[in-house]
Amino acid sequence: MSKKVGKRSRRLAPWMLLAPATLLIAVALGYPLVRQAIMSFQHFGLAQQFGQPAEWAGLSNYVTILTDPYFWSVFLKSVLFCIWTAGMTMALGVGFAVLMLRMNAVVRTIFNTTLIVVWAMPALASLTVWQWLVDPRSGLLNYGLTAIGLDGFRDFNWLGGNFWTFYLIASAVIIWASIPLVAITIYAALAQVPKEMLEASEIDGASNFQQVVRIMLPTIAPVISLIAVLQVIWDLRVFTQIHVLQQAGGIASETHLLGTYVYETGIAQGDYGVASALAMIILALTLILTGRYLQMLYRQGGMV
């Protein structure tokens, strides 16, 4: 009898250890998620904030969103913006990681420290610096361009001129902040490639470039894929950088992405029902990407 109790206790021990954290997450995240899901099926506006009962809307909020051309415009911009920022982040991050392999110890330490400082810098602090750099009158970017003879950039408004230049600066901010984590992670993976494999390829006459392209990067392809999927998830849900730059640029209606569009609909316009439906649509997209990420993670770990 005691043996059976001991086996049962060992089987239950992991679940008992996980139970407190699971309960805390369920309470902290579960209730807001359920509340948001319910609100997405209601007409929930400013009146409901003051106690008036919400009317049931059914699927009308979702129909309103999916039949709105502006939503599809924002959706397309968000997807294209995400592809651009995530793609450039991965390309530059992998490039920096490969470059770090060729650095000596001192230079690599300085470079790593710089990357960590960039990654750890608060978003609002870095955004303040970026706004100074692109200021129309006193910004360093316009000063440098006009100094080399490009007079068309004198007093040029990067954030308020048109949405193309706005997205160019916004993508630069996001890529700049995302590269450190990608570069450090990829470098750590590259450093684990067996030296015997590289020595054998060198004996066979492989150049450094061939070693990187044909041996090292294919070897760590699962790690690169995982980081790439995570980067897409993060960039699809970007909010802080876009919102702060919109406040400086003044063309919010032309530069909304999904994250800021939800904020504008819910907080600025007070239509919390439609905003909740928008948030649920974004959640569905994120879950699809997260499912792909988990599938890749399990395959890499040999769990399926």
| C-alpha closest to that of 263 among 249, 247, 248 | 247
Is residue 100 assigned to a domain?
A: yes
Is residue 10 assigned to a domain?
A: no
Is residue 36 assigned to a domain?
A: no
Instruction: Indicate which CATH number applies to the domain containing 290.
Output: 1.10.3720.10
pLDDT digits (tens, 9 = 90+) for 171-217: 999 999 999 999 999 998 888 888 887 778 777 777 777 778 888 88
Q: How far apart are CA 277 and CA 266, in angstroms?
A: 10
Contacts of 155 (CB under 8 A, 6+ apart): 136, 137, 142
**Residue 154 CB coordination number (10 Å):** 12
All residue ranges of the chain with pLDDT < 50 are: 1, 302-304
Token digits for 151? 């007079």
Is residue 227 assigned to a domain?
A: yes
Biggest CA pair distance of the chain:
89
Residue whose token pair is 């608060």 = 122
Is residue 231 assigned to a domain?
A: yes
Residue whose token pair is 């805390």 = 24
Q: Is the pTM of this model over 0.85?
A: no
* pLDDT of the residue at 297: 66
Is residue 3 assigned to a domain?
A: no
Containing structural domain, residue 201: 69-300
| C-alpha closest to that of 140 among 150, 152, 132 | 132
Contacts of 1 (CB under 8 A, 6+ apart): none
Q: Give the count of domains, the chain.
A: 1
CB 61 within 8 A of CB 41: yes
The three-state secondary structure class of 52 is coil
The three-state secondary structure class of 97 is helix
Give, in order, the Cα–Cα distances in Å from 133 to each of 143, 151, 165, 260: 9, 17, 14, 23
Is residue 182 assigned to a domain?
A: yes
Is residue 56 assigned to a domain?
A: no
